[in-house]
Amino acid sequence: MIVAGCDVGSTTGKVVIMDDGNILSHSLVPSRVICEDTAVEAMNNALEGTDLKLEDIEYIVGTGYGRVNIPFARKNITEISCHGMGAFWTSPEIRTVIDIGGQDCKVIKLEPNGKVREFVMNEKCAAGTGRFMEDTALALSLAVEELGPLSLKAASRASVSAQCSVFAETEVISLMAEKRPLEEIVAGINDAVASRLAGMVLRVGMEEQVVLSGGVSKNVGVIRFLQERMKVEFVDVSEKVDPQLMGALGAAIFARQRADKGERRTRRRRSRAENA
């Protein structure tokens, strides 16, 4: 059975198409101004290179900030539940998911069956989010992809405020004026994000195993510094799925569950009608 999940986030749109529990195809596109356009482009990209058409997909679940504006989704489910479900698919041992997206970050605690037990979310301040990383990368004339590898080359980490992105940006400009080595400034930025995330984890308590999801989880500097602070090794899911696709993956798994439920209902109705 073919199902799909579509995650329209603040920064990127993602689609995962699954066939009988395996990932068949996926896509990741920058978000457009109109959520519907992002969803359509992400879906078209995921369908490209497969023999499938949109009509071949049995059930589609939408998630993410633009989830209510996905024209082909039959159901929408919060990104918190979807990131949890995606993480559970990669390993049923996972109990804590740290999702670092474009405009917010969340720490999600899971039950042994993959359901969300509790979560904390930071959405009021950009500090610790992908947006903050993009702004600081721009100020340093770097690409976000360079922030992780560069920070691991630093001999020491500059001190950068973890609490406020506006202060952090001012500090970065001062550090540049002081001619502090670029890698040390970048290490300071990644460490500030790690410190903010570690603080959020403390609020709900950490339970192993732990996994990172969302675009910023591709930053090897944030991964290393957060592991140091939390004194734990994160589960590496990259061989199973791009961690930025975790929400879309969870949505696809929910789509499969919904489609199965619908099929069972139809079978029950049919057999009742036959026996009448």
Site for ligand ADP, rule CB under 6 A: 9-12, 31, 64, 101-103, 130-131, 133-134, 144-145, 147-148, 214-216, 218-219, 244
Q: How far is the CB of 175 from ligand ADP (least distance, A)?
A: 20
Of the pair 243, 259, the CB lying nearest ligand ADP is at 243
Q: Which amino acid is at 95?
A: R
What residues pair up with 63 in beta bridges, in sequence order? Answer: 7
Of the pair 11, 25, the CB lying nearest ligand ADP is at 11
DSSP structural state of residue 20: T
Q: What is d(CA 19, CA 3) in angstroms, rounded to the nearest whole number?
A: 7
Count the helices and strands in the chain (H runs, E runs).
8, 9
Of the pair 14, 109, the CB lying nearest ligand ADP is at 14
What is the C-alpha end-to-end distance of the chain, expressed in Å?
Answer: 30
Of the pair 28, 259, the CB lying nearest ligand ADP is at 28
From the CB of residue 199, how many other CB atoms can be counted at a distance below 10 Å?
A: 16
Q: How far is the CB of 90 from ligand ADP (least distance, A)?
A: 16
Q: How far is the CB of 167 from ligand ADP (least distance, A)?
A: 19
Give the CA dihedral 163, 95, 209, 249, nearest 10 degrees. Answer: -90
Q: What is d(CA 248, CA 24) in angstroms, rounded to the nearest whole number?
A: 13
Q: What is d(CA 187, CA 16) in angstroms, rounded to the nearest whole number?
A: 33
Closest to 213 measured CA to CA, from 243, 252, 239, 236: 243
Of the pair 129, 161, the CB lying nearest ligand ADP is at 129
Task: State how beta strands 12-19 and 210-213 pair.
Answer: unpaired
Of the pair 46, 133, the CB lying nearest ligand ADP is at 133
Q: How far is the CB of 196 from ligand ADP (least distance, A)?
A: 14
Q: How far is the CB of 238 from ligand ADP (least distance, A)?
A: 11
Counted residue by residue, the chain has a size of: 276
Q: How far is the CB of 126 from ligand ADP (least distance, A)?
A: 10
Q: What is d(CA 151, CA 226) in angstroms, rounded to the nearest whole number?
A: 13
Q: How far is the CB of 147 from ligand ADP (least distance, A)?
A: 6
Of the pair 114, 215, the CB lying nearest ligand ADP is at 215
Of the pair 52, 69, the CB lying nearest ligand ADP is at 69
Q: How far is the CB of 269 from ligand ADP (least distance, A)?
A: 38
**Cis before 163 (ω within 30):** no
Please identify which residue in the block is written with the tokens 């073919």. 2
